[in-house]
Structure 1
Amino acid sequence: MTKDKIEMDSYSESGAPAAEAIDHKDQPVSDDPEKATQTPQVGEGLQRNLQARHLTMISLGGTIGTGLFLASGVSINVAGPGYSMVAYCLIGTMVFCFMSSLGEMATYLPITGSINAYGTRFFDPALGFMLGWVYWFSWSITLATELVAAGLIISYWIPVETCPGWVWALVFIVVLTSLNLTTVKAYGETEYWLSLIKVLAVIVFIIVGFLYIGGAVGTRIEGAPKPGTGVFNMGPFHGGFVGLFSIFLNAGFSFQGAELVGIAAGETKNPRKNVPRAIRQVFWRILMFYVLTILIIGMTIPYNDEALANTGGSIKSSPFTRVFVQAGISIGGDIMNAVILVAVLSAGNSGLYASSRALHTLSKEGNAPRFLGYVNRWGVPVYCVLATSLIGCLAFIVSLPQIGQGEAYNWLLSLASTTGFIAWLGIAFSHIRFRMAYKAQGRVLSDLPFISNLYPFGPIYTIVVCVVILIGQGYTAFSPFDIKSFLSAYVTLPFVFILYFGNKFWAKTKILKLVDVDLDTGRSFLDTVVPVMDSESEKNMKKPSVVKRVMANVF
């Protein structure tokens, strides 16, 4: 055992920790405690091959997608830039709260499929059953949403009359499925570079946007309000309370994917160190990107511009593309559309990864067909990936011209948003139960590798916001009553109760007593050997350059 090895992580998702420290590089996340330290066999378990930079970009890549590039324009059109800022900031603070809760649990128990695993472990197996299937459905629908958006983006260059959207959906689902059938390390590397392209594009957009608002680039459009205060003051708060409340789902959909840190914790090297780091970095970067982009769009394009509504499902209405064109960078429209296509595929890639891992956990818990628990020699749950891809094929149907691309996209977005809020609600509730069980078993809080300083306010705030939005987000459908709006807003909620109480009745599950909650299986332990570094060694350590430190903080 080397001195510089300070952390030992169990590779078992359901077994006891290994007896001694081992190198994580090529070891599996075994589902059998007796095989945790043996040579991995085909189908034995997932592998910890994701590095810190992979973990950060996976979470970042899952959130920067159609929610930012397309749905942001719809939000501004409905509620104006002022209320849009309020909605995105409110959801952003709520995301910060549940991310802090997830960080505490995922650092202590870095297990794959943590969204449903924590519900099973800390409260009731029926809760884990419900959360797992809801989360799987949420990301499966998100995958379909991204595929529809990809078809819309391609129509910017190739009209649907020449090549229908379902053809591109078929092409992209094959590409994404192939990526997810490779090793998790290859997936992480691919997602890292795709996400890096998106981040760089958003940074360039922010710079160009501010230059255009300041008059440094572009030519003012004749008859249009002056960029900056002239546009923003047209109506920053449009639609009143109804307008504000109606865009919460859009804002929530935009932030979905931040929780991927917890999903990927079971396949991450050194989760005790890398998970908290990724959570802190991802939240602030996402919040910065969203607040600044909403501000720029709101000061560049009038809120009543019909193109922002995206009613026709045309990618030409993307506010990002519009800003580049108005700034006088005509080729910027093509470049931005290419970036948006990368963003959509990246978000779909992350969605396929997240949903397949949730389905794998359901199988290992006995809540899904057993064959879905199969994992090949590269640590990939093959059948889970293929099953999720089949649901993504829903995009083939909804992207048909007979149904209407724009309307289908809005329906899928609403379904994905609603189920996403339910998953966040489950994270917050699981954290409360985790803390209660931790205290009931006489454990010391200071022993946690990462402590959420927002407890108990954070999870309570998350629960309140999620419940209010889930119950009230469809109230506009009642005056006058609109059956389509009502179904898109509330069709998911009855299934939540059916899944929970149905499983409770069928499997005869019981709510766990706090003293019986398992807080040890799969836990991350510290090695007893702590490295000692003398002052001379510290002095000789090469510090990173200023450029590297800046790049590390940005990316």
Structure 2
Amino acid sequence: MGQLSESHALGGGLKSRHVTMLSIAGVIGASLFVGSSVAIAEAGPAVLLAYLFAGLLVVMIMRMLAEMAVATPDTGSFSTYADKAIGPWAGYTIGWLYWWFWVLVIPLEANIAAIILNSWISGIPVWLFSLVITLALTGSNLLSVKNYGEFEFWLALCKVIAILAFIALGAAAISGFYPYAEVSGISRLWAHGGFMPNGFGAVLSAMLITMFSFMGAEIVTIAAAESDTPDKHIVRATNSVIWRISIFYLCSIFVVVALIPWNMPGLKSAGSYRSVLELLHIPHAKFIMDCVILLSVTSCLNSALYTASRMLYSLSRRGDAPAVMGKTNRSKTPWGGGFYSLPARRF
């Protein structure tokens, strides 16, 4: 990417615990809590294979990306590596497409969060909630990269605790040690048309849904470039991808398909995790899941704002975007990339 001038270089500030939680947050999104029900309805219990195949693909890609990121830590990540290895056209295309993806995610996640908040406080319109959330997170990101890391750390920690608690409850129910619901065993894995009721083609179709759940795993290679020892952080995060996918996806989805029928009416609309909580007679299951989803979409929105600004910054420093988008403020955060990513979401 060339030597950056001191006035335009990023300042860093991410600590080890920030990068560790960023790597976890990257693979735990709202699509796990909501979109998994669609994948389950598509493939049945065999959705476990869809998550397994998609997870293996993510592991292989992350290993390859990590090798490049350790050798040359860069905020542009794979866009910069494509620029160097394939040609400027590849870096340009990948960088802009990746930036545009996250720009589209910003209003989507903000709207979901706003709808949840509006259901609690109906007097405030959805658009106002969406605007306030987006501006607040943008301001936090522009102040310091440490703010992003700290905010994401606590959001990720809450998501991890929620999933581990869900798995613990599910394991107790499957084992027959949960006293508040008459459900146990794993017979539902084959009781409703078999383990693969809709055939292997449905598993492949479900993979299209499950792959979206893993979007964000690569963010750690972008964020690690703003830490003190990016090579160590990237290696640690990449090596832990396997157990993160195993615990957060395979174990939690196994609990779902073991406890509720895959063809249960209303599964898509209610969501898989909420359906399990209601089956276990957990009070206020909808409110609990709304809180978890709100945390997840806020985390995703926070990451989307961060990632879009960094990719636009990288494109600008390589001459593939206007120079103003590569400017940084006193905190060494790219205000140009962050500012111009906001109006783009309206088009």
TM-score band by shorter chain is over 0.9
C-alpha contact (below 8 Å) 2:21/2:156 kept by paired residues: yes
C-alpha contact (below 8 Å) 1:61/1:350 kept by paired residues: no
Aligned to 2:230: 271
Aligned to 1:126: 89
Q: Where in structure 2 are the equivalents of 1:424-463 lying within 5 Å?
A: none
Deviates more, 1:368-377 or 1:149-158: 149-158
Q: 1:184-232 CA distances to partner (integer Å, 9 max, x unpaired)?
A: 01211111111111101110010011122333336447xxxx5543432
C-alpha contact (below 8 Å) 1:56/1:281 kept by paired residues: no
Q: 1:356-408 CA distances to partner (integer Å, 9 max, x unpaired)?
A: 111111111111111101111111111211222234457xxxxxxxxxxxxxx
C-alpha contact (below 8 Å) 1:361/1:373 kept by paired residues: yes
Q: Distance in 2 between matches of 1:281 and 1:369?
A: 37
Q: 1:389-448 CA distances to partner (integer Å, 9 max, x unpaired)?
A: 234457xxxxxxxxxxxxxxxxxxxxxxxxxxxxxxxxxxxxxxxxxxxxxxxxxxxxxx
Q: Percent identity?
A: 37
C-alpha contact (below 8 Å) 1:198/1:339 kept by paired residues: yes
Q: 1:324 to 1:264 in 2, by over 3 A?
A: same
C-alpha contact (below 8 Å) 1:201/1:336 kept by paired residues: no
Q: Distance in 2 between matches of 1:78 and 1:154?
A: 30
Q: Distance in 2 between matches of 1:187 and 1:272?
A: 20
TM-score, structure 2 length as denominator? Answer: 0.92
Q: 1:310-358 CA distances to partner (integer Å, 9 max, x unpaired)?
A: 3xxxxxx132222222212204542332122111101111121112111
Q: Which has the higher contact order (CA 8 A, sep 6+)?
A: 2
Tell me which of 367, 374, 380 is aligned to 2:333.
380
Are 2:275 and 1:338 aligned? no
Tell me which of 270, 274, 285 is aligned to 1:321.
274
The SS at the match of 1:306 is: coil
TM-score, structure 1 length as denominator? Answer: 0.59
The SS at the match of 2:73 is: coil
C-alpha contact (below 8 Å) 1:173/1:392 kept by paired residues: no
* Structure (1/2) with the larger helix percentage: 2
Letter in 1 for 2:138: T
Aligned to 2:162: 201
Q: 1:72 to 1:228 in 2, by over 3 A?
A: farther
Largest Rg, 1 or 2: 1
Deviation of 1:58 after TM superposition, in Å, equals 1.4
Are 2:148 and 1:187 aligned? yes
Matched positions, count: 345
Letter in 2 for 1:251: T
Q: Distance in 2 between matches of 1:247 and 1:142?
A: 21
Unaligned 5+ runs, structure 2: none
Q: Distance in 2 between matches of 1:216 and 1:175?
A: 44
Tell me which of 63, 70, 73 is aligned to 1:100.
63
Q: Where in structure 2 are the equivalents of 1:124-163 lying within 5 Å?
A: 124-154=87-117, 157=120
Aligned to 1:245: 204
Are 2:186 and 1:229 aligned? yes
C-alpha contact (below 8 Å) 1:62/1:346 kept by paired residues: no
Q: 1:166 to 1:301 in 2, by over 3 A?
A: farther
Unaligned 5+ runs, structure 1: 1-12, 16-30, 36-42, 311-316, 395-555
Q: 1:287 to 1:356 in 2, by over 3 A?
A: farther
The SS at the match of 2:266 is: helix
C-alpha contact (below 8 Å) 2:267/2:275 kept by paired residues: no
C-alpha contact (below 8 Å) 1:52/1:278 kept by paired residues: no
C-alpha contact (below 8 Å) 1:66/1:149 kept by paired residues: no
Deviation of 1:299 after TM superposition, in Å, equals 1.3
Deviation of 1:247 after TM superposition, in Å, equals 1.7
Q: Distance in 2 between matches of 1:343 and 1:243?
A: 27
Aligned to 1:281: 240
Letter in 1 for 2:136: V
C-alpha contact (below 8 Å) 2:118/2:129 kept by paired residues: no
Tell me how large the CA RMSD over aligned residues is.
2.1
Letter in 2 for 1:116: S
Tell me which of 132, 147, 155 is aligned to 1:171.
132
